[in-house]
Each structure stands twice: as structure tokens, then as C-alpha cells.
Amino acid sequence: MLDAPLTETDAQASLRRSEADNPSSLVMRFGTDAPLTLDAGPAIAPWQIAYQTYGELNADRSNAILICHALTGDQHVASTNPVTGKPGWWTLMVGPGRPIDTNRFFVICSNVLGGCLGTTGPASTNPDTGRPYGLDLPVVTIADMVRAQAMLVTGLGIDQLFAVVGGSMGGMQALQWAASYPERVFSVVAIATSYRHSSQNIAFHEVGRQAVMADPDWCGGRYLEEGRNPKKGLAVARMAAHITYMSDRSLHQKFGRNLQDRDALAFGFDADFQIESYLRHQGMTFVDRFDANSYLYVTRATDYFDLGADHGGVLANVFKGTKTRFCVLSFTSDWLYPTSESRAVVHALNAAGAPVSFVEIESDRGHDSFLLDIPEQFRIVRGFLTGAARARGIAGPAAEEAQ
């Protein structure tokens, strides 16, 4: 089934490989004098973090917003992705005049640790061997990702971020920032996320990882050296995951039982239904831009995420005494990270006395809603950041100040 169109262009493949070590974005490199300690135990050095920035840092360095990307996102939040040539993944949210207004804020977005677009990950060259890390890279966690980001932020000369904003796995990082560096985060926006991965979340990720590792082209994780790519496994992993990003209702509205390029059932195992064709397309385009081992690492990081675990399982203790302001958003049809999990975060924040805003937004479009054009979401994020910026004393953009 997945055979025919799996013709990754050589250009795109080599582009992706070169982005892993030498990203076309900005990159901050840390030598052996600045190792990154990992929850798994060992530290890595040298290591690097790839990032993009938008807008200008103000004189007192108070207007920086860090955007944390989701599972397979990247640092190109509002700029063209060098591998796919597609526009940034959150241009509805970030840009001049957008809710995260780059005329007002200095926006930083970095590729996560374990990613494949320029931050150290399994596709990066292991300095000890000169070969790609593969599975020799220690397993990374959300807290590790945040620790790496903190070193980047320090390197940029910023003591305190005005906001850390993220959806899904990005939201986990935002919450982790508030837990790890409460003094360094003035406000947090956590969208469509959770404080820990549920059993069901882990289950879906395990299906994806098993699909990757069952592909003979995975070669025990050494496919880059073998000149192979476990595309089929990774495509299946993406297909399974993609279902969890949408709601039953949105799938039904979009595809129903409609047939793909045919008038009748073909009585075979080709893609009869539009939904099958759609999922295959999602799988195939994904393998062109993403590294299979990276997929193992980032899914593992989210599975390991359990914010309350280090605090005796009491989430409120994580946020004890925090001065950070929080904005938590969930979507009615998100069954991957349902509203009940956002509510648990909100309850914990209330118990800790933290200032928190929380809205469940009506949307049929499932978990992916946070990436889509949902005006309510933009209105709330804009309002929250505007209020927080007022409290932080950040000057508005010229137009707003004139009002």
C-alpha cells in the first residue's frame, strides 16, 4: 500500500540530513565546558540548539517570548521551513499584529532536544564517533528540553522570559518551565496539553514506535549509516498518531464514508475511502521531513512526562509560591489531552494561589484545534498577553499606544 509514492527526493533527504548538524536557522553551540545534563544520567557535550527569532529585544530585555513547539514541530514558527518549503507552523498566532505580536515582543522558537532540525538529536553527529548518534543518544525528557532552552535563553542575555507559550508537547514544556525556573517566567500559556501522559497516550505512542522499529529499514536505529530510511514504519506511526489529533466528528464531516477516485468499492485493499487516502498522504509527507529515531525520542519524552511525580504526586506543590501568571486553554473535542487534564492543572494552580485564567474553547476539530484558525483562541491569547504585558510594563506597539 505505501509502496508507490514513497519516493523521497534525494534533494530533500540530503537537505534534512544537513539540517541536523548545520541548520539553516540560527544555532547556538555549546562546547565541552558547557555540558547539558540529562535526567537519564549522563551529560552531553558538545551540543547545540537551533532556533529562530522574530522581532526586537527591548532595552531592558523584558519582552522575550519563548514558543515551544509540539511533537514534530520545529523552530520555524513564523518562517519558511527549509526542508518542506512550507510557511511557518503558527503564522496565525505569531507575526506582526498577530496575538503574539512581533512588533511588540521578541519571539524565540527553538528546535527541541532530540529533534532533527538542528538541535542535538539522534540524527546529529556523535562527536565521540563521527557517526550519527542513533540510539546512543541518551533518552531525553521534557525537563531536559527545557534545560537546553534555558541555556539558550541565558546565552541570548535574557534573565526572565515575558512568556513561555506552547500547545500540546509545547504546553508541557511551558508548564515545565514554570516548575523548573519559576523566577525566569513571567507568564505561561499552555494550550491543549496535560501535566502527564495518560496510559492511553503512552499506548498510542508505543504503537508508533513499534511500527518504526518493525520496519527492516530501521536497521536497529543505524539506518542513516546504512543509507536506508524506515519510511513505511514511520508513515504508519504518523497515520496512527494523526487519528488522535482529530475528532470523530471532524473526520466524519471531512470524509464520511466517501470513496477516493472511484464510484464503487473495489473489493481490495487499495485506498477505497478518502480517509485512507488522506492518512496515507499524511504518513508519506511526514517521512520526508522527519527523522525516524527522532520520532522515538520525542514520543518517549512525552511518555515520561509527569509533572507532579517529583512532588509526591501533588501537582499543587509543583507551583507552590509561584508568581508566574498562567493561561490554560483546552478544546471541547480534544480527546488526546482532554479538558479534564487542563482542569487538573488549573485546580492545582488555584490551590497554589497562582493567578490563572482558564477557558475551554468550543471546537469540533480535536486536538489539532490549537494550530487551526479558531478566533476565540487568538482573542484569548491576545487578551491574556496584553494584560500581562501591562503588568510587566512592556510598551505596546506604536498603534496601540496612540489609542
Partner 1 sequence: MTDLADLASDVRVDLRLIAGLIEPGSRVLDIGCGDGALLELLERTRGVDARGIEISQEGVNAAVSRGLSVIQGDADSDLVQYPDQSFDYVVLSHTIQATRNARRVLDEMLRIGRRVVVSLPNFGHLDVRFRLMFLGRMPVSKRLPYSWYDTPNIHFCTIRDFVELARDVGAKVDQAIVLDGTGKRLPFSLPWIVWNLLGAQAVFLLSREDR
Which residues sit at the interface with partner 1, rule CB under 8 A? 325, 327, 346-347, 350-351, 353, 355-362, 376, 379-380, 382-384, 386-388, 390
The catalytic position among 24, 25, 168, 187 is: 168
CA 186 to chain centre: 21
Place of cell 479534564: 340
Residue pair 170/109 in contact by the 8 Å Cβ criterion = no
Dihedrals phi, psi of 191, to nearest 5 degrees: -115, 135
Beta bridge partner(s), residue 163: 65, 187
Q: Which is nearer to partner 1, 98 or 289 (CB)?
A: 98
C-alpha cell at 315: 501537582
Min. distance of Cβ 340 from partner 1 in angstroms?
13
Min. distance of Cβ 53 from partner 1 in angstroms?
25
Q: Which is nearer to partner 1, 108 or 346 (CB)?
A: 346
The catalytic position among 334, 357, 368, 369 is: 334
Helix, strand, coil share (%) of the chain residues, nearest 5: 40, 15, 40
242 is catalytic: no
DSSP-derived secondary structure letter, 191: E
Rounded Cα distance, 23 and 125, in Å:
13
Helix (H) or strand (E) holding 36: strand 36-37
- Give the β-pairing of 47-54 and 106-110: antiparallel
Residue pair 134/224 in contact by the 8 Å Cβ criterion = yes
Q: Which is nearer to partner 1, 127 or 313 (CB)?
A: 313
Closest to 3 (Cα-Cα) out of 213, 209, 232, 224: 232
Min. distance of Cβ 393 from partner 1 in angstroms?
14
Torsion of CA 208, 210, 211, 214, to 10 degrees: 160
C-alpha cell at 128: 565521540
Place of cell 493561561: 327
Q: Which is nearer to partner 1, 38 or 307 (CB)?
A: 307
Min. distance of Cβ 323 from partner 1 in angstroms?
11
Rounded Cα distance, 373 and 147, in Å:
31
Q: Which is nearer to partner 1, 195 or 218 (CB)?
A: 195
Place of cell 509527507: 285
Q: Which is nearer to partner 1, 217 or 364 (CB)?
A: 364
The catalytic position among 69, 76, 205, 367 is: 367
Q: Which is nearer to partner 1, 241 or 356 (CB)?
A: 356
Q: Which is nearer to partner 1, 117 or 185 (CB)?
A: 185
Residue pair 66/164 in contact by the 8 Å Cβ criterion = yes
Rounded Cα distance, 259 and 257, in Å:
6
C-alpha cell at 215: 520496519
Min. distance of Cβ 190 from partner 1 in angstroms?
13
334 is catalytic: yes
21 is catalytic: no
Helix (H) or strand (E) holding 43: strand 43-44
Please identify every residue annotated as catalytic. 168, 334, 367
